[in-house]
Every structure is written in structure tokens, then in C-alpha cells.
Amino acid sequence: MNILAVDTSAVTASAAVMRDGAIAGQVSFTTGLTHSQTLMPMIDYVLKGVGLTAADIDLFAVSSGPGSFTGLRIGVGTVKGLAYACGKSCVGVSTLKALAHNIGPTDRLIVPVMDARRGQVYTAAYRYDGPAIVEVSAPAAMGVSELCSGLREKVIFVGDGVTPYMDKIRDIMVGGADFAPPQLRLQSAASVCAAALEEKPVSPEELGVIYLRKPQAEREREEKMNLHS
């Protein structure tokens, strides 16, 4: 089976192809360009690199959130369009679960942290159950102190929230935290491919975006209205 996966949930954008359970190719960029500029050229490049066309793809997968509202809409919209045009199914994968797949089998709790701004992270907790990763705590947005206070075992943190919050996590969880190395911290379409194997395919019409918070503009508007009420 051929899977094409994309991740545009954060600053890094990536596209990957999995062929019969192995990653055949991946391209990834962390640049100042918007995902609307980079995504389709990356998809075209990785498909040509592995000798396939969109018509050869059996399943289209995408990181469907949480993450950047604009980035998620670009990724999900692109995958919906490709799947619809090719008459194929698609899969939406939690960005956090895909990040957990960056970590190889371990007996430690895997805790992805994505920078959600305003002192919060998007987070969840996962554990290996044989070859599969299972959810231990559901995705949520919260402060780092709140997250760490609820962890009672050895943890591996992964995600783009590691770099800005590493010192704070270390201060709270003395001796209880390990961190994914830099090359494994960021979002990866290859990990979206791996996570997609554990999800149920849906039609393009059923594919949606996972928002854990309201858009920033909407939150700011509500705050202004509360101040003047």
C-alpha cells in the first residue's frame, strides 16, 4: 500500500511517502515561506522522487491538529482535494500522536508538547502497547506547570515546545524528564504515515480539523467584549 502524508500543523512543513510499511521518501522545510507556497511543490517533489503519481497513492494522510489554524486548513484542504480527485480515502491523524511516533519503542510515557503561545502548550500522553501507540491522556491545551504537576513517572518530551520550555520542565520535574534530541523533536510527515496505519480511513467529505482552542482573533475579540461589558 502507498501512503502519502503531509504535516503543516506548525512552522515545519513536510511530505512523505510510505510504500508497504517503509518510508520511501520525505521532504521537510522550516522556512519563512507559508505552507500554501511550499506544500504542493513538496508533494510533487517527493512523489517524483519515489517514482509515483498521485493516482498511485492508496491512502492520503494528514496531521489534522492541534496546531496552527491556517497551517491545518492548508494541509487538510490539500489532502481532501487530492483524495477526492483520485477517488481514494484519507486519514486525519492527531499531530500529537504523530509526534509520539517520532520516539522509538520505550517503556516511558511519551508526552508531546507543541508551543500554543500565551504560555500554553498543546499536549497529550501516549504509551507503547506492543508495536502500537495508545493514548493515555487526551489532547488538551494547558500551561507547562499544570502539565508537569500531573506527571508522576519518567517521561520523554517531544515536540516544538521542548526548546522554549525545556528549562522550566527541568526545574519542575527534577530527574523525571528526558527530551527527544533536536533531530526528532519536530513534526514529521513520516510519523504521520506511521500513525495513519492505526487509524480508520474516511472519505474526503468526513475529514476535518481538530481545534483545541478558538482562533486567536476570536479569543481577542471575546476578551475586548468582556472588558467593555
pLDDT at 220: 47
Q: Determine the Cα–Cα distance for residues 209 and 218; give it in Å rounded to an integer.
A: 17
Task: Return the C-alpha cell found at 113.
Answer: 508538547
pLDDT at 222: 44
pLDDT at 216: 52
> For the chain, how are helix, strand and coil distributed in percent, rounded to 5?
40, 30, 30
What is the value of pTM for the model shown? 0.91
Whether 2-94+187-216 shares its CATH topology with 97-184 is answered: yes
Nearest CA to 144 out of 186, 187, 114, 100 is that of 114
Q: What is the mean pLDDT of residues 182-192?
A: 97
Name the more confident of 223 and 201: 201
CATH fold of 2-94+187-216 reads Nucleotidyltransferase; domain 5 (3.30.420)
Q: Taking each helix axis from N to C terminus, what angle separates 69-86 and 35-49, rounded to the nearest 10 degrees?
A: 40
Superfamily of domain 97-184: ATPase, nucleotide binding domain (3.30.420.40)
Name the more confident of 215 and 131: 131
Average pLDDT, the chain: 92
pLDDT per position as a tens digit, 48-72? 999 999 999 999 999 999 999 999 9
Task: Return the C-alpha cell found at 78.
Answer: 490539500
pLDDT at 122: 98
Residue 106 has pLDDT above 80, yes or no: yes
Task: Return the C-alpha cell found at 217.
Answer: 482573533
Task: Return the C-alpha cell found at 33.
Answer: 515561506
pLDDT bin (cut points 50, 70, 90) of residue 212 is: confident
pLDDT at 48: 98
Backbone φ and ψ for 147, nearest 5 degrees, come out as: -60, -50
Give Dmax (Cα) for the chain: 60
Which residue's entry shows cell 521542548? 162
pLDDT at 219: 43
Task: Return the C-alpha cell found at 177.
Answer: 524528564
Q: For residue 56, give the DSSP letter.
A: G
Report the first-to-last Cα separation within the chain, whole angstroms: 57
Q: What is the mean pLDDT of residues 137-160?
A: 95
Nearest CA to 102 out of 20, 48, 162, 50 is that of 162
Which residue's entry shows cell 489554524? 69
pLDDT per position as a tens digit, 4-23? 999 999 999 999 999 999 99
What are the extents of the domains in the chain?
2-94+187-216, 97-184
Which pairing describes strands 109-117 and 155-158: parallel, antiparallel, or unpaired?
A: parallel
